[in-house]
A = this chain, B = another copy of it.
Amino acid sequence: MTAQPYKSWVDSANDHPDFPIQNLPLGIFSRPGQKPRGGVAIGDQILDLQAALDAGLFVGDAAVAAEAASREQLNDFFALGASGRKALRTALLHLLDEHSEQQATMRALGEALLVPMTSCELHLPAHVGDYTDFYVGIHHAQNIGKLFRPDNPLLPNYKHVPIGYHGRSSTLCISGTPVRRPNGQTLPAGQETPSFGPSKRLDYELELGIWLGPGNNMGESIAIGEASNHIAGFCLLNDWSARDVQAWEYQPLGPFLAKNFASSVSPWVITPEALEPFRKPQPARPEGDPQPLSYLLDDADQAAGAFDIELEVLLLTEAMREQGLPPQRLALSNTLNMYWTVAQMVAHHSVGGCKLQPGDLFGSGTLSGPDPDAVGSLLESTNGGKQPLTLASGEQRTFLEDGDEVILRARCRRDGYPTIGFGECRGKVQPAH
């Protein structure tokens, strides 16, 4: 990391709220009618990695990494691990710097090299072998626990075990994919037999997504001190949830149809290197909380294992669109609300020998803050649907209506350093079949 801010000759990158030269996230894009390929976001442009390779802009390890990242999916790039990723980042910083010696060559390539993001389609960054959703947002766990188990909100295992469960990889979808309201079984209040029909309690969940890099063999584990070498990057994740389906189905084996109809992912993979300036000590556990077991404890991880990333949920309804209103913020939270670090999640997931693979995806679980304006789901903000929100459009919401679009954003801010962002994770609710 350099402390000195870079500027780029790509004008839109300077003061860009998400993608200044300090960010350089990777993703998969396609020009109209062309196959998906790997690129790097810089300002409002995408740098085409194959075009840069063809122009001889990369050499050595950076060329190897760029080649792996130029394919239809980033799995091979994720498998390279930190050394290849860092080599590519160093090369990109030099190429895109305002003083780059290759600036003229790159400008001459025009849209073959730098294509406007708005003219491209973005795709899921990788093939996801397995998707795991954790539950490390302790305020969320407490809020939800109060609704389901008023006497016993936080179960005895919570502060010992980074609780997680396996999700559905086939319905992970890229930001912008419409999300159809699911039909399902529910047990309406006061009834003794279940009903079938469209979910009446459709909700979002504000999560940090974690892309896995190099994996481990079945039967082996990843020590917590090594865990950071297995992280490829980060994204936003909306783990859409049908709360009425969930309440009826989740005992004894956990959420199933309530969650497996769609999970939206933001397109850009924010690297650990880009987030390095925003690392923080893991917040101290409240007085009286137990120490983690040793396989979950690492001094370096406790010293700098957390991230200070602002997380935002916004809602745009049909009425707001008609009234010309902008999306309305429903919550502002932060990844410092994670009770467990990402390294602890990796160490725990693999400790029994579960095989992790490049391109696996973790969700953090809903990251609510302690305050009412920082909660990452409607289930929490409406107190289980009992206290509707009033929107700027004059509408009320307990849960999502058809036509509602949920927008997640994430930004990292630090004095004297450019803001970097994740871009958006959007999804609009379609009526049930």
Least Cβ distance of A245 to chain B in Å? 7
Complex formed: what's the CA distance from A253 to B136 in Å?
12
A283-300 CB contacts (< 8 Å) to partner B: 290, 293-295
Residue in A161, A166, A183, A218 with the greatest tally of chain B CB atoms within 10 Å:
A166
- Quick one: CB contact mask for A161-193 with B, threshold 8 Å, 1 for yes? 101111111110100001010111101000001
Complex formed: what's the CA distance from A430 to B163 in Å?
26
Least Cβ distance of A336 to chain B in Å? 23
Q: Cβ of A417 < 8 Å from any Cβ of B?
A: no
Copies held by the complex:
2
**Which residues from chain B contact A165 at a C-beta distance below 8 Å?**
165-166, 253-256
Other-chain contact of A260, B166, B168, B293 (Cβ < 8 Å): B166
Q: Cβ of A371 < 8 Å from any Cβ of B?
A: no
Evaluate whether A351 and B193 lie within 8 angstroms (CB atoms) in the complex, with A157-B249, A252-B250, A293-B185 already known: no
Complex contact A161–B249 (CB within 8 A): yes
Q: Cβ of A352 < 8 Å from any Cβ of B?
A: yes
Complex contact A354–B163 (CB within 8 A): no
- Quick one: CB contact mask for A335-372 with B, threshold 8 Å, 1 for yes? 00000000000001101111111001000000000000
Complex contact A262–B218 (CB within 8 A): yes
**Which residues from chain B contact A357 at a C-beta distance below 8 Å?**
170
Complex formed: what's the CA distance from A147 to B376 in Å?
36
- Give the size range of A's interface with the partner: 35 or more
- Please give me the residue from chain B that is nearest to A350 by CB atom: B257
Q: Cβ of A433 < 8 Å from any Cβ of B?
A: yes
Residue in A170, A220, A360 with the greatest tally of chain B CB atoms within 10 Å:
A170
Q: Cβ of A9 < 8 Å from any Cβ of B?
A: no
Complex formed: what's the CA distance from A171 to B360 in Å?
13
Q: Cβ of A124 < 8 Å from any Cβ of B?
A: no
Residue in A160, A249, A254, A295 with the greatest tally of chain B CB atoms within 10 Å:
A254
Subset of 17 A-B contacts with CB under 8 Å = A148-B252, A157-B187, A160-B194, A165-B166, A166-B256, A170-B354, A170-B355, A171-B218, A182-B351, A193-B290, A196-B293, A196-B295, A219-B261, A219-B262, A242-B352, A254-B254, A257-B351
Q: Which residues of A contact B (CB under 8 A)?
A: 129-130, 135, 145, 148, 155-157, 160-161, 163-171, 173, 178, 180, 182-185, 187, 193-194, 196, 199, 218-221, 242, 245, 248-257, 260-262, 290, 293-295, 348-349, 351-357, 360, 430, 433
